[in-house]
């Protein structure tokens, strides 16, 4: 299984909203993202859905600055659609 295929599988979450947002980032931005952003995305995929959902809704702020920066990017990507 290729890395992108594995990540695409991991983007399948327990919440449809997360599925769409994570898959959208993977398809549109991931390959051109910096190594740091790619690592942050993989770290996001390791998080539990309730935490990830709260971060993406702005209900919580991630204490990891690199991941928080990616969360801001994900939120802005979502607001464009």
Domains of the chain listed by start with CATH number: 3-79 (1.10.150.250)
User: What residues contact residue 7 under an 8 Å CB cut-off, 6+ apart?
Assistant: 26, 30, 41, 42, 45
At 72 the pLDDT is 94
- State the Cα–Cα distance between residues 75 and 25, nearest whole angstrom: 10
Q: What is the pLDDT of residues 49-65, one digit of tens each?
A: 999 999 999 999 999 99
Give the predicted TM-score (pTM) of the model.
0.89
Instruction: Extract the residue ranges of the chain whose pLDDT is less than 70.
Output: 79-81
């Amino acid at each position: 299984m290729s890395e992108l295929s594995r990540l695409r599988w991991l983007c399948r979450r327990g919440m449809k909203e997360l599925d769409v947002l994570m898959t959208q980032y993977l398809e549109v931005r991931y390959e051109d993202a910096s190594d740091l952003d790619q690592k942050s995305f993989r770290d996001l995929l390791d998080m539990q859905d309730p935490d990830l959902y709260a971060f993406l809704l702005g209900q919580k702020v991630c204490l990891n600055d690199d991941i928080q920066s990616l969360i801001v990017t994900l939120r802005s990507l979502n607001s464009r659609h």
